[in-house]
């Protein structure tokens, strides 16, 4: 039997506390989504730094990117220059129209994104950093420790992603995709926008909302570590630290999403795409 004097007694309590922080919002969020208009507006209702800058939510192929009627270059038969974004990719780039995601899309997209090359690169980077600093989970700094960190990092990363995107995004009726603000905006504005996506996102109906799904998913991922992390990494403070570093990692991931294409273009590894 675990004693309340045992530091490990507080690990599961910490995990439960993290999960309970999002429970009061679930009913309110569901009510908000059920009262939303079924159609998707062609204007962004968000704040000055919107969650989907320059994008359209549309259920049709109607063009809003062609020149305005009456202009010299207007062609009524012209095809839209926008293209539809894949429902299973959780990053939407400039020039793409994001149509609503079904529950199935969120489940499959969350699973696919959790085991993508981008995610695997994150596991390797995290394991390498923790190996150098001998950070949590504390396995030491030998070759075997790196393998353990990589394996546990994969479990943690996959659980965070699946919980956030495949489980809680449908529950909270949130759109789990990241919308790239892209070139044409000041660097600092893009940086702030990307870094704050851990705090705010969009509902399925296109309205701004706190990012309950991400918080709940990372809390669930932190909670799960008490079942496989070393005992000294499952105390209240350690589980809370895991939760905090998960949020920081999510913010960093959004920043990478925002500037990755720009970096590849600058390194001549990708051709610059014409803007719509």
Domain-located, residue 274:
no
For β-strands 178-179 and 174-175, DSSP reports them as unpaired
> Quick check: 103 and 168 in contact, CB under 8 A?
no
Structural domain of residue 194, as residue ranges? Answer: 9-266
Whole-angstrom distance, CA of residue 6 vs CA of residue 241: 19
Domain-located, residue 129:
yes
How many domains does the chain contain in total? 1
Whole-angstrom distance, CA of residue 274 vs CA of residue 213: 34
* Per-residue confidence (pLDDT) for residue 30, from 0 to 100: 42
Whole-angstrom distance, CA of residue 273 vs CA of residue 262: 10
* Per-residue confidence (pLDDT) for residue 53, from 0 to 100: 53
Domain-located, residue 3:
no
Q: What three-state secondary structure class fits 186?
A: coil
CA nearest to 197, candidates 164, 241, 237, 162: 164
Q: pLDDT tens per residue, the chain (276 residues)?
A: 444 444 444 444 444 444 444 444 444 444 433 333 333 333 343 334 445 554 444 433 444 444 443 444 445 454 445 677 777 888 988 878 888 899 999 999 999 999 988 889 988 988 888 888 888 888 877 878 888 889 999 999 999 999 999 999 999 999 999 999 988 889 999 999 999 999 999 999 888 999 999 999 999 999 999 999 998 889 999 999 999 999 999 999 999 999 988 888 888 777 766 555
Domain-located, residue 202:
yes
Domain-located, residue 166:
yes
Domain-located, residue 199:
yes
* Per-residue confidence (pLDDT) for residue 49, from 0 to 100: 43
* Per-residue confidence (pLDDT) for residue 4, from 0 to 100: 41
* Per-residue confidence (pLDDT) for residue 87, from 0 to 100: 75
Domain-located, residue 2:
no
Domain-located, residue 39:
yes
* Per-residue confidence (pLDDT) for residue 217, from 0 to 100: 97
* Per-residue confidence (pLDDT) for residue 198, from 0 to 100: 95
């Amino acid at each position: 039997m675990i004693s309340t004097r045992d530091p490990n007694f507080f690990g599961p309590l910490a995990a439960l506390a993290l999960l309970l922080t999002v429970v009061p919002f679930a009913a309110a969020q569901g009510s908000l989504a059920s009262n939303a208009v079924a159609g998707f507006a062609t204007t962004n209702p968000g704040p000055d730094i919107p969650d989907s800058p320059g994008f359209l939510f549309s259920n049709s192929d109607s063009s809003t990117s062609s020149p305005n009627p009456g202009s010299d270059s207007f062609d009524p038969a012209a095809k839209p220059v926008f293209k539809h974004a894949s429902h299973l990719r959780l990053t939407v780039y400039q020039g793409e129209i994001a149509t609503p995601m079904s529950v199935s899309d969120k489940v499959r997209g969350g699973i696919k994104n959790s085991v993508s090359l981008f995610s695997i690169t994150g596991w390797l980077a995290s394991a390498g950093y923790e190996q150098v600093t001998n950070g949590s989970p504390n396995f030491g700094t030998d070759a075997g420790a790196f393998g353990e960190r990589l394996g546990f990092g994969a479990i943690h990363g996959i659980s965070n992603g699946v919980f956030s995107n495949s489980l809680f995004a449908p529950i909270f009726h949130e759109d789990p995709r990241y919308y790239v603000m892209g070139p044409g905006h000041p660097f600092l504005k893009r940086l702030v926008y990307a870094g704050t996506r851990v705090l705010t996102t969009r509902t399925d109906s296109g309205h701004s909302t706190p990012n309950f799904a991400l918080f709940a998913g990372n809390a669930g991922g932190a909670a799960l570590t008490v079942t496989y992390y070393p005992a000294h990494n499952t105390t209240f403070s350690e589980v809370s630290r895991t939760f905090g570093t998960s949020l920081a990692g999510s913010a960093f991931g959004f920043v990478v999403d925002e500037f990755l294409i720009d970096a590849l273009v600058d390194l001549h590894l990708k051709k610059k795409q014409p803007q719509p």
